[in-house]
Amino acid sequence: MGDLNFYSGTMDCGKSTLALQMDHNHRARGREGRVFTSHDRAGSARLSSRLGLEVAAIEVDELFHFWHFTVDELTQGGRIDYFVCDEAQFYTVEQIDQLAKVVDELDIDVFAFGILTDFRTRLFPGSLRLTELADRVHTLQVEALCWCGERATHNARTADGVMVTEGEVIVVGDVEDSHRPQPMIGYEVLCRRHHRRRMTAQAAKAAALSPDVLPFD
């Protein structure tokens, strides 16, 4: 029987590294799999980690259909024992349903990795559907830390270093691309307290140099 597994956490907690390790471990045991990703920092059709590791992957755009892909691969003589699905928060609800069908009907294991909430602290639709359907939901044990040293629980988006809470849900940052739109988009993990205060590391440094050090408006 196949299983649908969802591994979740904030940025910087090692999701993509674990996805790469999961693929390596299964291949080392003679299993055949496929690796998928969406909007990876390294570019299209790549699965990369912040440690510098990366592999080729199948890009999942909004038109990709997991069930049709799997059936086509199998009818052409391919073998599939498992899927590794990184950046699953960007998958559509329909694509998550397709993954569940692949597990139930074809006994293929699915290991999905993704962030639970976006920069507005709202659940990604793909992550919500995975939480609803997964046989097992795993919270990654490697804790990302806020600049203050506390456990980071929220993902913040910055535009030219200033935290923002409105805008398009999917905007890829943290990539070296001179042609990407301005302002410069980046991401940072924060504890809830500092996310509420919009206090990024840069803002905290500026506040420390200010004569008005109290956090009151």
* pLDDT number for residue 166: 78
pTM greater than 0.85: no
Residue 73, H or E segment: helix 66-75
Interatomic CA distance for residues 37 and 47, integer angstroms: 6
Q: Would you list the domain boundaries of the chain? A: 4-139, 154-208
Provide the annotated active-site residues. 87
Torsion on CA atoms 50, 8, 39, 41, rounded to nearest 10: -10
Q: Which CATH superfamily is domain 4-139 in?
A: P-loop containing nucleotide triphosphate hydrolases (3.40.50.300)
| Residues 3-56 pLDDT 10s | 999 999 877 777 888 999 999 999 999 999 999 999 876 677 778 776 677 788
Q: What is the pLDDT of residues 163-212, one digit of tens each?
A: 888 777 776 654 445 555 566 888 888 898 998 988 998 888 887 765 55
Give, in order, the Cα–Cα distances in Å from 90 to each of 97, 186, 197, 204: 14, 17, 27, 31
